Amino acid sequence: MRAQFRSRIRLVLAFLILAALGIFLRLYFVQIVHGETYSQKADRQFSSGGSGLFDRGAIYFTRKDGTLISAATLATGFLVAINPQVLGDPEAAYSAILSAAPSSTIPRDAFIAAAAKKSRVYIEVAHRLSDESGQALSAREVPGVQVLRERWRQYPGGKLAAQSIGIVSYGSGDARAGRTGLEAMYEGTLARSGDSLYRNFFAELFSGMSNLLVNAKDAREGDIITTIEPEVQTRLAGDLAKLNQRYSSKESGGIIMDPATGAIIAIASYPTYDGNNLQSVDPTLLGNSFVEHVYEFGSIMKPITMTAALDAGVITPATTYDDTGCITVNTARICNWDAKARGVIPMRQIIMQSLNVGSSWIADQLGQDAFREYFTKLFAEKTGVDLPNETGALLRNLFKPQQVGYSTAAFGQGIAVTPMQMIRALGALANGGTMVQPHLVRAIRLNSGIERTLDWGKKTPIFSATSTRETVEMMSALNDEILYGGKAKIPTMSVAAKTGTAQLTSPGGGYYTDRFFHSFTGFFPAYNPRFIILLYTNDPKGVQYASETLNTTFLDLVHFLIDYYAVPPDRGFST
């Protein structure tokens, strides 16, 4: 009995050992031999490669009080798809879908053609339905019609700073990504890769164990916080639209920047587009003219020429010269805007009366090498602003021996720079001679909750503080005494200003005599500026001088900024 019991026990034990060996062998094949295959199969099924809802970080404007307002965010709604194999009555289905999404449903003919494709099981026919419409359509349970969750990029401001915020769209692949503006520049921060909301939790738990400890994505992915102030941006955009429409210009643009830090408070151009509706947008508008186009800015270059000469010590504000109205340099004839001679006059008159002959005279005094050195420091390098596709300046004339290239560059013709380079260089006048780095994003708010402030502290000393102050005095006098015959003067605020009118280049060479590029720059309070403004309008019709087109816009912005930011007066107030 005992022996029989023992043999049975051994039999059971042998069976268990064999079973364990079998399981062990099977595990060996599953985990070691075919482990890679199963891993890939599991990945395909669960966490990796899941086509979840579209996800992307937000871009924020920053109000003056620090409140964040979305410039780009995500909207949630529904899309409608049909299964032609199940769809019974295409006409009835189309009517139901059309009533739920009247603006986003494909045309009737396209819908009927899609419904006829019986080999297909999934065709999307309407997008961006609101929650109410989507749920109402879903409740009707139309056979062959599926109502599915959808998310898409939404720009609450519509056209507001559209060119700088950028767009998200499909490229060559099937993934949406930032294509222009900040959307493209900060793609690595804004993109959300493989982070589907509806992934398998267990698969994520076991396959992503390391992420529970240190998640690399949390240190990289986040939201973008810009320096753009939405109300100032709205004001600038509105003023430019009015200006452009009034003078039928080809385009107009403007930048408002803090000259001490390079933070861009507003940046707008006209014409523009609405990022929420890209179907009928002219593709040329998607670029950003502030960094991608170069212009000959004209006389707003004169304060830079003046400061360079003052800084080099070749002139002082008291220096005089004999203005003859026109001069000939090499074989080119250079004249003042009215071709009239002024006689012997001091330097400040070159800025106040915007005299080309005087600027050319300064270029002569400075000499070619020194002139080239100053302008190369100011314009040869790209600004490094956080916008894609930045181009460089055209300074070829400054590398030729002919003096005429320097004489014309002194008043902003013959060399072409981007608006971003121009405001950076003019910012050096406002900032005691130091050039700062313009930027649009001040911080990144990471998914981990940490707000990482970006370092834009690169400063390039160009001029001495004394030389910039002397030029600022001339620009302030221009505002107080010349603009609107002195009526532009604000008794309680010093404002430095300069207008610029440049002839447009002709495709056949040379310049048009009746087509112009108008520019305007100014900053205030003049001797400790909080804001620098650069405005331009390209090819305005029916006017010749920038003082006719941009004065009003500039002064409107100055008064608005003084009121909005409650900028304290810097002169003329009673105690």
Partner 1 sequence: MSFCIGTVAVLLITYIGLIAVVMSYAVLTIEFSQSVRNNKAEVAVLESRYLASVARTTTTDYISAGYALPTATTFVRAESVTALR
> Could you list the residues that contact partner 1 (CB under 8 A)?
58, 69-70, 73-77, 131, 151, 154, 156-158, 160, 197-198, 201-202, 205, 230-231, 234-235, 238, 492, 568-569, 572-575
Residue 404 CB, shortest distance to partner 1, in Å, is 45
Which residues, 6 or more positions from 382, have their beta carbon under 8 angstroms from its beta carbon? Answer: 390, 391, 392, 421
In contact, 79 and 123? CB cutoff 8 Å = no
Residue 320 CB, shortest distance to partner 1, in Å, is 38
Residue 556 burial by Cβ neighbours in a 10 Å radius (0-12, 13-18, 19+): middle
Residue 335 CB, shortest distance to partner 1, in Å, is 40
Residue 67 or 466 with smaller CB distance to partner 1: 67
Residue 75 or 281 with smaller CB distance to partner 1: 75
Residue 110 or 197 with smaller CB distance to partner 1: 197
Residue 230 or 303 with smaller CB distance to partner 1: 230
Residue 203 or 341 with smaller CB distance to partner 1: 203
Residue 274 or 539 with smaller CB distance to partner 1: 274
Residue 78 CB, shortest distance to partner 1, in Å, is 12
- The four Cα atoms 212, 218, 221, 223 give a dihedral, to 10 degrees, of 120
Residue 403 or 492 with smaller CB distance to partner 1: 492
Residue of 384, 408, 385, 387 lying closest to 396 (CA atoms): 408
Bond preceding residue 143 cis, omega within 30 of 0: no
In contact, 384 and 363? CB cutoff 8 Å = no
Residue 141 burial by Cβ neighbours in a 10 Å radius (0-12, 13-18, 19+): exposed
SS3 549: helix
Q: Please give the Cα distance from 179 to 199 (Å, whole number).
A: 27
Residue 239 CB, shortest distance to partner 1, in Å, is 9
The two tokens of residue 479 are 């505002």
The two tokens of residue 193 are 């890769």
Residue 20 burial by Cβ neighbours in a 10 Å radius (0-12, 13-18, 19+): exposed
Residue of 287, 61, 290 lying closest to 179 (CA atoms): 287
**Bridge partners of 150?**
77
Which residues, 6 or more positions from 279, have their beta carbon under 8 angstroms from its beta carbon? Answer: none
Residue 19 or 197 with smaller CB distance to partner 1: 197
Q: Please give the Cα distance from 326 to 339 (Å, whole number).
A: 6
Type of residue found at 207: S
Strands 59-62 and 222-226: parallel
Residue 493 CB, shortest distance to partner 1, in Å, is 9
- Give kind and range of the element (H or E) at residue 404: helix 403-409
- The four Cα atoms 395, 400, 403, 405 give a dihedral, to 10 degrees, of -30
Query: DSSP state, 12?
Result: H
Residue 51 or 574 with smaller CB distance to partner 1: 574
Residue 159 or 302 with smaller CB distance to partner 1: 159
Residue 555 CB, shortest distance to partner 1, in Å, is 14
Residue 149 CB, shortest distance to partner 1, in Å, is 9
Bond preceding residue 525 cis, omega within 30 of 0: yes
Residue 198 CB, shortest distance to partner 1, in Å, is 7
Residue 171 or 569 with smaller CB distance to partner 1: 569
Q: What are phi and psi of 221, to 5 degrees?
A: -85, 145
Residue 219 CB, shortest distance to partner 1, in Å, is 20
Residue 200 CB, shortest distance to partner 1, in Å, is 9
